[in-house]
Structure 1
Amino acid sequence: MPHQSTQRFSNRVGDYSRARPDYPTAVFDWLHDLGALSDNSQVADMGSGTGISTLPLLTHAAKVYAVEPNDAMRQSAETNLAGHIGFISINGTAEATTLPDQCVDLIVAGQAFHWFDPAPTRQEWQRILKPTGQVVLMWNDRDIHSTAFLLGYEAMLQTHGTDYREVNHTQIDEQRVAQFYGHPPRCQRFPNKQVFDLDGMLARLRSSSYTPAPDQLGFAPMMDAARALFEQHEQHGQIEFLYQTVVYCGSLCSN
């Protein structure tokens, strides 16, 4: 995987699980309406992390293989989702899932596809998908131009981030998505938001792999800037993160 992505979040698991956004219920209703997801579906959740996308999938499918190579994140999901019927934790990657041939109806990658190597990922997914299987790629995109706070947050990341420009998932544009599918897939956008107090906002910031870790020189200045940003924009002790949840759905055309 590019950027040594399998280990990037090992020291951020607690903040990631606590502060990353989930996915709107409307996403899964849309997939159901398309016929891509049903109560009988066998699903592979790629780069499943701490289980943020796995949990809602478990309520809409018969079985979910949560494929995650990072030990700390996978163990967090196993703790969070223990006892959920249909949950199967897999130590694997998008490029080498360890799953059998033609075993899943749906593959989902939530906030993860930009970490994958596209060519071997596509080959592996074609192997494990059933002939009528579908692929869903989805991201929670911060609506950075919607509020003064989010404009300031984006500027802070540009200033204090370590490799924010290099690994920002927004580099995956519609052309690259269509190239992966082999055709332009269906696309839908859904509004989403989080409301944070100061501690929650700082956890959200620390959860991003492109921000300095606490033992790095840039951490303290970033946290000072974040506190100042919160104080400037908070309303009744809270701020809002507004998102557009972007969802692609389609089959993988044969090469």
Structure 2
Amino acid sequence: MADFQSTTRFSDRVDDYVRYRPDYPVALLDWLQREQGVDRHWHVADVGAGTGISSKMFLDAGYRVTAVEPNAPMRGAAEQWLRRYDRFDAVDGRADATKLADASVDLVTVAQAFHWFDEVAARREFARILRPQGLVAIWWNSRRLTGTRFLEGYEALLLRFGTDYTSVAERYADDAHMRVWFGAGYRGSASFGHGQRLDFEALRGRLMSSSYAPQAGHPQHEPMLQALRELFDNCAEDGTVSFDYDTRIFAGQPV
């Protein structure tokens, strides 16, 4: 079985992660507020917060956010980036041991990180830190694999050069799995289109932010970048390609 080292595998990719990873559609937050009753007076625990992309979305909307992140370089990047927000703090914690007090938060959010968690231990920890009637919201940007020459070529590139791409991709849960995880506490789901327009520098950074992309010194690194350049040149329109996602969100109570 692969050793995914989920708390450390992004440590040497932080700069690319900060600059080139996508954010999340504002429609996602609108849905939480409109359909799930989430209120800006709620205290949010952003678990597996990484560099703070999801935390910033809530901070911009006026929420109080505590980022929970075990990876020191990523947590440090979040603290640096979000330091101007008075309602932000960060803790060195994990999904199964957040270090937050019992019944201390109203909403647990997990963005692009659920596939790294021990799901049973995380549900138990989320139930501990949530106040009565609190919610869990879990989402991720799911890259579209087909539909354009670029998307299909990019998927082929990852399958060819990614160090453990298939193993990581298989960790993402489907809708049925998420309903089972929430069980009787399941409250609903939604999907939103999202995307980035990337020039070649940004596309390269987006690729290198992925934990399965071989880095400099690896025998596949240069061939991968050459293939990426060829793919970009063949598919770019007006100097960019469209990197398209479907953002899937699931909400409920961890009962």
For the superposition of Structure 1 and Structure 2, which TM-score range results when normalised by the shorter chain?
over 0.9
Residues 114 and 169 in structure 1, CA contact (< 8 A), matched pair in contact too: no
**TM-score of the pair, normalised by structure 2:** 0.95
Moved more, 61-70 or 126-135: 61-70
Is the alpha carbon distance of 1:252 and 1:124 closer, same or farther for their aligned partners in structure 2, counting shifts above 3 Å? same
Name 2:27's counterpart in structure 1.
26
Question: Equivalent residue of 1:182, what SS?
Answer: helix
**One-letter amino acid of the counterpart of residue 193, structure 1:** G
Is 1:83 the counterpart of 2:81? The answer is: no
AA aligned to 2:235 is: H
Q: CA deviation at 1:251?
A: 1.3
Residue 178 of structure 1, CA deviation? 1.8
Could you report, residue by residue, the CA deviation over 1:31-68 in whole angstroms, capped at 9, with x for unpaired residues? 01124421201000011001110001112353111000
Match of 2:140 in 1: 139
The residue identity in structure 2 corresponding to 1:55 is: K
Given the superposition, is the C-alpha separation of residues 72 and 169 from structure 1 closer, same or farther in structure 2, using an over 3 Å criterion? Answer: farther
Aligned residue type for 2:190: Q
Residue type of the alignment partner of 2:232: F
Match runs of 1:61-210 below 5 Å: 61-168=62-169, 171-183=172-184, 184-210=186-212
Residue aligning to 1:232: 234
Moved runs in structure 1, 4+ residues, more than 3 A?
none
Identity rate, percent = 42
Contact 1:195–1:240 (Cα < 8 Å) also in 2: yes
State the SS of the aligned residue for 2:189: strand
CA distance in 2, matches of 1:34, 1:104: 19
| One-letter amino acid of the counterpart of residue 18, structure 2 | S
Unaligned runs of 5+ in 2: none
CA RMSD between the two structures: 1.3
Contact kept? 2:153, 2:231, Cα under 8 Å: yes
Distance 2:69 2:225 in 1: 29
Cα displacement string for residues 173-212 of structure 1 (whole angstroms, at most 9, x for unaligned residues): 1232122212444110111110011000000000000111
Conservation of the 8 A alpha-carbon contact between 2:124 and 2:254: no
Q: 3-state DSSP class of the match of 2:176?
A: helix
Partner of 2:254: 252
Distance 2:138 2:217 in 1: 33
Structure 1 position 12 matched with structure 2 position 13: yes
SS where residue 123 of structure 2 aligns?
A: helix
Q: The residue matched to 2:133 in structure 1 has which SS?
A: strand
**Equivalent pair of 1:37/1:61 in contact (CA under 8 Å):** no
Write out per-residue CA displacement over residues 64-111 of structure 1, whole angstroms, 9 at most, x where no aligned residue: 110000010000001000020210111111110000001111011000
Matched residue count:
252
